[in-house]
A and B are shown apart, each in its own frame.
Chain A
Amino acid sequence: MGNYPADLKYTKEHEWARIEGNRARVGITAYAQEQLGDVVFVELPKVGATVSQMQTFGVVESVKAVSDLYAPLSGGVVEVNAELVKKPELVNQDPYGKGWMLLIAVSDATEVDALLTAPQYEEFLATAGH
């Protein structure tokens, strides 16, 4: 807990985005994986699919729960983390690293303004959040 890197942007649905030039890498936060418990299944879109900001792009399932995944930003999917098919537990083990989910080509950079900074996300968790 309390592990929210400052270089990431966050959603209130507990996804993160790391801006890499005009692309963004996407995953779920340490808080999200902690709440889910052992992740046993991740369903992601195919490369070439389009995702829209705060629309669902996939599903993550733990032993007990099914949760929708929401896109922090709009764009085309240029890469998905295929390793999660075989090793969904990477989402628990390394949510900001090997547990990443999507790389998207960002279609509207101004959407970043709608995302939370790390301190804002932590504030959200501490108050309204859950």
Chain B
Amino acid sequence: MPERSEAPLKRTPLYAVHVKAGARMVPFGGWEMPLQYAGIVEEHRAVRRAVGLFDVSHMGEFEISGPGALAVLQPLTTNDVGALAVGQVQYSLLCYPDGGIVDDLTVYRLGDDRFMLTVNAANIDRDWAWVTGQGQGDCRWKNRSDETALLAVQGPRAEGLVGRLADTDVTRIGYYRFARGTVAGSAAIISRTGYTGEDGFELYAEAREAESLWYALLDAGKDDGIMPVGLGARDTLRLEMKYALYGNDIDHTTNPIEAGLGWVVKLSKGEFIGRTAIEKIKAEGPRRKLVGFEMVDRAVARHGYRVLKGGLEIGVVTSGSYGPQVDRYIGMGYVATAHSKVGDEIEVEVRGKAQQAKVVQTPFYPSKVKKG
């Protein structure tokens, strides 16, 4: 993601903690964030094997409340907010009229007339302008991004760890559900969500509590083998799950249908921005699809590399790396629909050379989230 050099990088409430821990800090979406602590591969495997702690406080949180909140959110988002019960979370999209994606987000129903939207860090300003510009009605918007810290605790040991520190029974929180409680004495929204494919929680707390919460989790998780995890492993973890990353795999030039996100587009819910365009794409069938592929030849696919078939360009790589758990070179990209079936042989152009790859079943690594 290109960085505007004139704008100073923003920092999360845990910036000093990361520097002290020896993290390598890098610019990401306008933020100065930890790329890695011990190393990307080691951190990635710690999350799959035990538990990892992530600072994702750079994400944005918007609150909307009032009798008209639901009526304002429905036309803004693609998923059916009306189907959300209080205490439930929903993955959704904001779209432009042409079906291009403004952002992907999670929607929390905090109360009958109160919701929280969690948006991508790099898009906070644009999303804020978009939702408040479009979303008029009997409601109030509040941008709580600066005062909110967000820590993710992910991995098979996450439930036990958070459970020991929480004043609520976290085993009763289902997938994509949340509860309010305290964790290590800090008031938090305890949300059973994540971006790794592992069971785990995302904890929303007051920014001023971030540091004590961070250290309490690290301390209590010592015997579990907890590690702080940077954005590097966050990226490889989500890649192994084929979760889309805004700015890489989805953006204003991609639509939900070709991105494989049709499951969060509820055409039956009524009018919403982008509906007509998306309905048309769905009816005609997308001309390309976001697929997961694995390299057959030894090469690493990277964002922006061309996808070929018999020398002809048929698509583009949107994400690619080494998958530390699957121990293979994997990637995702948009490929012409005719070549997008599992098993289809494609090529990725790496430094001028066509390298063999094939479309594979995804996720690359089986999801361990606690569904149902």
Q: Which residues of B contact A85 (CB under 8 A)?
A: 298
- Report chain A residues within 8 Å CB of B298: 41, 85
Confirm or deny: B178 has a beta carbon within 8 angstroms of a beta carbon on chain A: no
Q: Which residue of B lies closest to A92 (CB)?
A: B39
Q: How far is the CA of A85 from the CA of B36 in the complex (A)?
A: 24
Binds B, one of A4-12, A58-66, A100-108, A118-126: A58-66
CB contact between B322 and one of A41, A43, A59 (< 8 Å): that residue: A41
* Contacts from B to A (Cβ < 8 Å): 24, 35-36, 39-42, 232, 236, 298-300, 302, 321-322, 324, 329, 351
In the bound assembly, the distance between CA atoms of A59 and B322 in angstroms comes to 15
A51 to chain B, nearest CB (A): 17
A38 to B41, Cβ gap below 8 A? Answer: yes
Q: Tell whether A17 is near chain B: CB-to-CB under 8 Å.
A: no
Most B CB within 10 A of own CB, among A38, A63, A66, A89: A63
- Interchain CB contact (< 8 A) of B351 among A37, A38, A59: A59
What interface size band does chain A fall in? 10 to 19
Instruction: Tell me if A73 is interfacial: C-beta within 8 Å of chain B.
Output: no
Instruction: Pick from A38, A61, A66 the residue with the most CB of B within 10 Å.
Output: A38
Query: Judging by beta carbons under 8 Å apart, are A40 and B36 in contact?
Result: no
CA distance A63 to B237 in the complex (A): 12
Query: What total count of A-B pairs have CB within 8 Å?
Result: 40
**Contact of A66 (CB < 8 Å), options: B302, B324, B329:** B302
Decide: A37 near B299, CB < 8 A? Known: A63-B321, A64-B35: no
* 12 pairs, A vs B, C-beta closer than 8 Å: A37-B24, A37-B36, A37-B40, A38-B39, A40-B41, A40-B321, A40-B322, A41-B299, A41-B300, A43-B299, A63-B324, A64-B321
Are A64 and B300 in contact, with the CB atoms below 8 A? no
Q: Which residues of A contact B35 (CB under 8 A)?
A: 37, 64
- Nearest neighbor of B329 in chain A, beta-carbon distance: A41
Residues from chain B with a CB closer than 8 A to the CB of A38 are 39-42, 324
CA distance A37 to B329 in the complex (A): 17
Chain A nearest CB: distance from B302 CB in Å?
7
Docked Cα-Cα span, A38 to B44, in Å, equals: 12
The 8 A-B pairs with the shortest beta carbon distances in the complex, nearest first, are A40-B322, A38-B41, A63-B40, A41-B300, A61-B300, A38-B40, A38-B39, A63-B321
CB pair A64 B351 closer than 8 Å: no
Residues of B within 8 A of A37 (CB): 24, 35-36, 39-40, 232
